[in-house]
Amino acid sequence: MAVASAKGAPANGSVALQVFRGDPAGGAEERFEVPMQEGMVVLDAIHYIQAHFAPDLACRWNCKAAKCGSCSAEVNGRPRLMCKTRVDEFDGEIHVWPMKAFPLIKDLVTDVSWNYKVNREIPPFRPSPNEAVPYRMAAEDVERIYEFRKCIECFLCQDVCHVLRNHDDKSLYYGPRYMVRIAGLEMHPLDTQRRTGLLHGKAGVGMCNITKCCQEVCPEHIKITDNAIIPLKERTATDSYDPIAWVARKIRGGVPPEPEAAAIPGFVPKAGVQRFAVQDVVRLRARGRPLARVGRVLADGWLEVWVLQMGGVTQRWRGPKTVRATDIVSNYGPLDDVGIGSKIRDQD
Amino acid sequence: MTETYETHTCDVLVIGAGGAGMRAAIEAAGDGASVILVCKSLLGKAHTVMAEGGIAAALGNVDPQDSWETHFQDTMRGGQLINNWRMAELHARESPDRVYELETWGAIFDRTPDGRIMQRPFGAHTWRRLCHVGDRTGLEMIRTLQDRTVALGVEVLMEVTVTRLLKDGHRIAGAFGYNRVDGQFVAFRSKAVVIATGGWGRIFKVTSNSWEGTGDGVGMGYEAGAEVLDPEMVQFHPTGMLWPPGVRGILVTEAVRGEGGYLKNKDGQRFMLEYDPKKKELSSRDVVARAIHKEVEQGRGSPHGGAYLEVMHLGADTIKKKLPSMYEQFLRLADVDITREPMEVAPTIHYAMGGLWVEPETGATTVPGLFAAGEAAAGLHGANRLGGNSLSDLLVFGRRAGAAAATYQRDVTRGNLHERQIAEEQELLLKPFQSEGKENPYLLQQELQTAMQEGASLARDERGLRACLKKVLELQRRIEMVHVPGSRRYNPGWHTTRDLRFMLTIAEAIVRAALERKESRGAHWRLDYLEKDAKLGRVNYIAYSDSGRMRLKTRPVPEMPHELSRLFGEPEPLPAQKTA
């Protein structure tokens, strides 16, 4: 495909591009010749075309430094970031097409909104309600998920995924990008949320047949299949047949057991002390058993709290008040989860 | 006569979905306001993603001596004391909490051996202060805020450009713009608007900014009657990529120097030892940028007119672990293996210290109902911003603006949208399709970039600035003659035309204020006035619109209360800058 025909061979000092132009009604390649510059990338050529030949040529881009993942396209049939694809790596004409797995909007721009819809369905990070802030986490525990956090959401993996691309059925599988996102959440050392049911069901981790195409095109070199999808498949299988394993893993992940914690110098969790996080909703032992939210976690078992006062239609948080952790009867977890946050006006 | 448009109604409209915009939306939504967040690109692509080095916050995890007072002093000194002291104080006091808060939303940072957040040294920060994750801190931050925004159910409209603020009387009633995808018009009826549209690096030719940095929000605010503070203060990042031409301007993070990189001239001298023997490579950005400029001017530059930045002595493993995206960026785009060869770097336009004038506590502008935060707002950074202070700026003041907007909207009724304003804006937007002119929006933008790069960049003088102003005013006339072909469906030529109007307004403000500030201070370097002028050090320049004409005025720099100003009375603290 990349072989240049005699007609397509670029003149000296210029490069020829065949750029797809069109909209949902139809379209075809259009040929442009662009002067060659040292170190030129495909996106430079597209910009040149916009400025000199076709001002309305549609393409997405932002940073031009392979950090934002906007300029995804198919260059000579391969999903690439245009800002990272050097023109001089090809002989002859360069064919630039939009991503095929998503509905076309115009020219090189596709409608990727489905990805954002899927993203909203994934339960967010949920730390244990008793986790003290600031967090303590061992370097090796967080480094495990660095790889997943590197994702720039270019959706090239989604574009190349057989389930999403060939079967054109996006109801069966969330796609590699969201396996990476879920892996990052599941392996976060302080996360307590359970997502294996989702993985097994709607997210459809079972649909992946491990062809590893996604990890081949990843511009961030994330080992999507090896490090995200396969471990998630294993996890889902284990949890479906052995619920105790999930509990055990989450406890290990959420509250590090003694030996691990002791390995962090200077960090010795006190046994038996209840743990609180900023924004937790708690009930106090005081008269009337008022509700309060945690403002700050102080040293030696002291907390700063804001006490909820309800008077007719107005509700307000009064504080800060310093209390002992032992003055707290129960902890209902983060304000957002408890759900009274949005209904209460913070008037102080 | 107006064309059809769809109308969205909300309490708070946040324009811009970078760090500041998302943080504002999170806060306003958490306070119970109905929020719509609009952005020009897809969600999560904003320029915040490009921030590499880290978030400055005096946690004292690595250097326990650090405190908010020291951070405050560093920020004020860096800004050459024309900053708003109250903003600098709030910023220094609140940024640690904002960082910890990010962690509770799922962000991860590099750790110290005892499991706390790791901090690295950075230019002109007294202590090791930057919380980071490798060299992709901005990505971590934007992804975390994005996840939080989504989890809170904030309505996000992607690829929508807002081009005009709508007013009812003297206060904000909403905004108007278009959907980039289908070109349809969109109106917003909202009680408060938060501008979080970032900076305007795209006005210059060599910049680290993405295409979005066109100053829209500040331009709109200016047109709606808000004041633009310190427009002349434009920051050069000392180290942008230089070769090949296609990558010119792309950022080389300051973390390269933070991790121990050396700057050398063509003779192999570490020239920063002469320009700033104490802080060396980690001097403030204005100083390092000028040093590179001077080396080149005196014939000691690298082949393409810059300096060499070396990290080879750190060892390949450290480089790949601490600076992975720099390693990848140079290998891929410039065929340079930074574990074996030096990088070639030159200053690049990076950040606008100027922006809309805001009240320190609330981010409120002078227009009722209009708030601003992040790079679009001004005051915190004064004449020069320290590395790492922008990310903390976004969090601290994004939150404050969001909270203030949510509070404001409770006490006001919804304003009315006036058809006349909408009709005017539609006419302006549709003009390039109907125009008989021959001007090309891209080439006009390139002309502006070239003119600003030549006349109003790192080294300025009266003659260059005058010529530049003339060019900007000429372009303001010629933009009326722009013609774009095609339909309104995803038409970048059309989009560029409207952006260009804002760029021309901001460019005029930059040049006019730069002409007036007849001194050298921070990022503003006048070759014809090389010294600081104590009198000018007590004022900020403000550009404002006087029935369509740009005017300039000065306002005294707010005076620090004694308990803060006494911090500067003592001799400068002299802790040796430690490197990790």
Of A23, A41, A124, the CB nearest to B489: A23
The domain spans of chain A are 14-109, 116-254, 280-343
CA–CA separation, B168 vs B185, rounded Å?
Answer: 20
Per-residue confidence (pLDDT) for residue A12, from 0 to 100: 61
Residues of B recognised as catalytic? 237, 257
Contact B147, B106 (CB under 8 A): yes
Q: Which of A234-248, B29-43, B337-351 shows the lowest mean pLDDT across its residues? A: A234-248
Q: Residue range B370-390: average pLDDT?
A: 97
Contact B484, A56 (CB under 8 A): yes
**Residue appearing with tokens 């999808």:** A229
For residue A268, pLDDT beyond 70: no
Q: Residue range A276-303: average pLDDT?
A: 80
Please indicate whether, in this complex, the C-beta atoms of B246 and A37 are within 8 angstroms of each other: yes
Architecture field, domain A116-254: Orthogonal Bundle (1.10)
CA–CA separation, B23 vs A294, rounded Å?
Answer: 21
Per-residue confidence (pLDDT) for residue A79, from 0 to 100: 96
Of B59, B158, B484, the CB nearest to A56: B484
Per-residue confidence (pLDDT) for residue A269, from 0 to 100: 39
Task: Give yes or no for A270 touching B (CB within 8 A).
Answer: no
CA angle A251, A252, A258 (to 5 degrees): 110
Per-residue confidence (pLDDT) for residue A342, from 0 to 100: 36
Helix, strand, coil shares of chain B as percentages rounded to 5? 40, 20, 40
Per-residue confidence (pLDDT) for residue B569, from 0 to 100: 76
Provide the 8-state DSSP code for B332. H
Q: At what angle do helices B492-516 and B441-455 cross, to 10 degrees?
A: 20
Distance from CA of A26 to the nearest CA of B (A): 14
Torsion sign over Cα A276, A277, A278, A282: negative
Burial class (CB in 10 A: 0-12, 13-18, 19+), A241: exposed
Question: For A26-65, how does the pLDDT look when each residue is reduced to its tens digit (9 = 90+)?
Answer: 999 999 999 999 889 999 999 999 999 999 999 999 999 8
For residue A241, pLDDT beyond 70: no
For residue A88, pLDDT beyond 80: yes
Distance from CA of B20 to the nearest CA of A (A): 17
Task: Give yes or no for A2 touching B (CB within 8 A).
Answer: no
CA–CA separation, A141 vs A264, rounded Å?
Answer: 12
CA–CA separation, A44 vs B57, rounded Å?
Answer: 38
Q: Which residues contact B572 (CB under 8 A, 6 or more apart)?
A: none
What are the backbone dihedrals phi and psi of residue B508, each rounded to the nearest 5 degrees, phi first? -60, -40
For residue B576, pLDDT beyond 70: no
Helices of type H across B153-283: 216-223, 255-258, 272-275
What amino acid occupies position B328? E
* Highest-scoring range by mean pLDDT, A169-173, A304-308, B76-80: B76-80
Confidence band of B516 (pLDDT split at 50, 70, 90): very high
Domains of chain B with CATH codes: 5-234+351-410 (3.50.50.60), 235-350 (3.90.700.10)
Instruction: Show the tokens assigned to B203.
Output: 């006005």
ipTM > 0.90 for the complex: yes
CA–CA separation, B128 vs B297, rounded Å?
Answer: 33
Q: Residue range A249-258: average pLDDT?
A: 47
Task: Give yes or no for B152 touching A (CB within 8 A).
Answer: yes
The distance from CA B147 to its chain's CA centroid, rounded to whole angstroms, is 23
The DSSP H or E segment spanning B88 is helix B85-104
Question: For B97-117, how does the pLDDT look when each residue is reduced to its tens digit (9 = 90+)?
Answer: 999 999 999 999 999 999 999
CATH 3.10.20.30 is right for the domain spanning A14-109: yes
Of B42, B101, B442, the CB nearest to A51: B442
Q: Which of A17-31, B260-274, B324-338 shows the lowest mean pLDDT across its residues? A: B324-338
Best of A53, A63, A218 to mutate (most B CBs within 10 Å, chain B)? A63
The DSSP H or E segment spanning B294 is helix B285-297
Confidence band of A237 (pLDDT split at 50, 70, 90): confident
Best of A61, A62, A119, A144 to mutate (most B CBs within 10 Å, chain B)? A62
What mean pLDDT, rounded, does chain B reach? 95
User: Would you tell me which residues 153-192 of chain B have a C-beta closer than 8 angstroms to some C-beta of chain A?
Assistant: 156, 158, 181
For residue A346, pLDDT beyond 50: no
Q: Residue range A185-206: average pLDDT?
A: 92
Distance from CA of A288 to the nearest CA of B (A): 26
Q: Which residues contact A72 (CB under 8 A, 6 or more apart)?
A: A60, A79, A80, A81, A82, A99, A154, A155, A156, A159
